């Protein structure tokens, strides 16, 4: 009995200390995750959507021992969060949206200046019944960018029956601190 308790304690301590380092190694080995880390920090700018210009503040930060990136998105005072993480060796995102849902997106393309994520139906959302984010594009130049362009596409049917794509275009500048807007 005493031996089995010692073995269990050793197994638990091994899991507690080994798994986080394995997860960190997997995150570091993913080139898309490494590219995404280049935009860590605070950003501020403008979102253009449906003919309106909206003030935007966003921040990218590492969490979970460096294996996930959280994007804090503040759109005219409305807060949303997107979490970027590796899933089976591929960079994925879950966007917790002000539309009241949480679409999952998977990296669909990457080049030297951009990352594109597209809707992954694994989350169970149905575009014939609800509107949600279906695509996110990030464009930036260089290893340590100070300007970034992104585009988000919401698609599907809204509560009032409106159909089709709504594209939001974002222009951001890296800042030390957000303005008091």
Reported as a single tens digit per residue, the pLDDT across 94-152 is 999 999 999 999 999 999 889 999 999 999 999 888 999 999 999 988 888 899 999 99
14, two tokens: 């091994």
Tens of pLDDT, residues 16-63? 554 454 444 544 579 999 999 999 999 999 999 989 999 999 999 999
C-beta separation of 120 from 136 below 8 A: no
How confident is the prediction for the chain on average, in pLDDT? 86
Average pLDDT over residues 162-173: 91
State the DSSP code for 105: E
**At 36, phi and psi to the nearest 5?**
-65, -35
Q: How far apart are CA 100 and CA 81, in angstroms?
A: 12
Domains of the chain: 2-175 (2.40.128.20)
The sign of the CA dihedral 179, 32, 145, 103 is negative
- Model confidence at 162, pLDDT cuts 50, 70, 90, reads confident
- Residue 36 belongs to what H/E stretch? helix 31-37
**What pLDDT score was predicted for residue 10?**
41
Does residue 4 have a pLDDT over 90? no
Kindly indicate the confidence band of residue 1, based on its pLDDT and cuts at 50, 70 and 90: low
């Amino acid at each position: 009995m005493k031996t089995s308790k010692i073995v269990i304690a050793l197994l638990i301590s091994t899991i507690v200390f080994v798994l986080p380092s394995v997860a960190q190694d997997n995150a570091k080995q993913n080139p898309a995750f490494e590219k995404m880390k280049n935009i860590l920090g605070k950003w501020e700018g403008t979102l253009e959507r449906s003919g309106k210009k909206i003030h935007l503040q966003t921040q990218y930060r590492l969490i979970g021992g460096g294996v996930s990136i959280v994007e804090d998105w503040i759109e005219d005072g409305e807060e949303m969060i997107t979490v970027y993480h590796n899933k089976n060796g591929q960079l994925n995102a879950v966007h917790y949206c002000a539309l009241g849902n949480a679409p999952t997106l998977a990296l669909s393309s990457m080049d030297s200046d951009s990352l594109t994520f597209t809707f992954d139906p694994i989350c169970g959302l149905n575009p014939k019944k609800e509107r949600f984010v279906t695509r996110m594009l990030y464009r930036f130049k260089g290893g340590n960018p100070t300007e970034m362009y992104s585009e988000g596409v919401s698609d599907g049917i809204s509560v009032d029956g409106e159909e089709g794509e709504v594209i939001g275009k974002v222009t951001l500048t890296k800042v030390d601190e957000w303005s008091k807007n």
